[in-house]
Amino acid sequence: MPSRISIIIPVLNDAEALSSLAVDLQALKARGHQIIIVDGGSRDASVETARSITDDVICGEAGRALQMNVGAAVARHDLFWFIHADSRLPACADRLIIDTACRHLATLWGRFDIQFRNSSLIFRLIAMFMNLRSRITGIATGDQAIFVSRTLFESCGGFPVIPLMEDVAISKLLKKKRKPVCCGQKITASSRRWESNGVFRTIVLMWWLRLAYFFGLRPEILHRWYYAKH
């Protein structure tokens, strides 16, 4: 039965976020889990911050899907957990994943519910609807800290190397093989993007991107459009 997790974190100019996450990661490292940080060419102190956390720091090309696949390729353990650098983790999250893996053996994948750092009513409602959407559709987002067994991950070929929507794309592949599991604790996600771009504007943007992707608009086009707005 699995007792250790390879935790994979793609970063790009995330030094400040990594510094905040470091306490959580050091606790996980102390319990024997592997921390892999994959940098995509940061211009800030991300690499230096990463090296203060773990020896498993990889520097390569930018692209979240590509970075996560690179991290998975050097993972030592048979459970992979993909985390965003601006997340904060519940203290027992690793134990929840391992306990779930022991019940589902080699065909495990799943996610956590999320809550936002900003706990105002609007953000509680956004989180509630995001979590509900994932329950109904079986599609997880990167903010929800996807975890997956090595066997299942490799059977899907890893993350499709696309510039946007890689979390949705792999969820579609994984759920064809196994229904996702949702762990009981909540990941705390950053609300900075929502606050800086406007809550309503961000909601409309996220739903438009998903709808366009659903109807077949290429991720490369969505990526250009998304970053033109930022």
Apex 22 CA angle, 131 and 196, nearest 5 = 55
d(Cα 115, Cα 184) in Å, to the nearest integer? 12
Q: Does domain 6-192 have CATH number 1.20.1250.20?
A: no
d(Cα 146, Cα 84) in Å, to the nearest integer? 10
In terms of Cβ atoms closer than 10 Å to its own Cβ (0-12, 13-18, 19+), residue 155 is: middle
Q: Give the pTM.
A: 0.94
Which residue reads 């592997």 in tokens?
Answer: 34
Query: For 21-33, what is the mean pLDDT?
Result: 97
Task: Return the structure tokens found at 86.
Answer: 């601006």
Which stretches of the chain are DSSP H helices? 15-30, 46-51, 64-73, 93-104, 121-137, 150-155, 166-175, 192-197, 199-214, 219-228
Mean pLDDT of the chain: 94
Per residue in 178-216, pLDDT (tens digit) is 999 999 899 999 998 889 889 998 888 888 888 888 888
Reduced 3-state DSSP string for 46-86: HHHHHHCCCCEEEECCCCHHHHHHHHHHCCCCCEEEECCCC
Mark 201-229 as b/e (b = at least 16 C-beta within 10 Å).
ebeebbeebbebbeeeeebeebbeebeee
Residue 229 confidence (pLDDT): 58
Task: Return the structure tokens found at 26.
Answer: 């050091």
Among residues 154, 148, 117, which one has the least CA distance to residue 7? 148
Percentage of the chain surpassing pLDDT 70?
A: 97
d(Cα 46, Cα 44) in Å, to the nearest integer? 6
Residue 143 pLDDT class (50, 70, 90 cuts): very high
Residue 160 confidence (pLDDT): 98
Task: Return the structure tokens found at 34.
Answer: 């592997």
Task: Return the structure tokens found at 212.
Answer: 């366009």
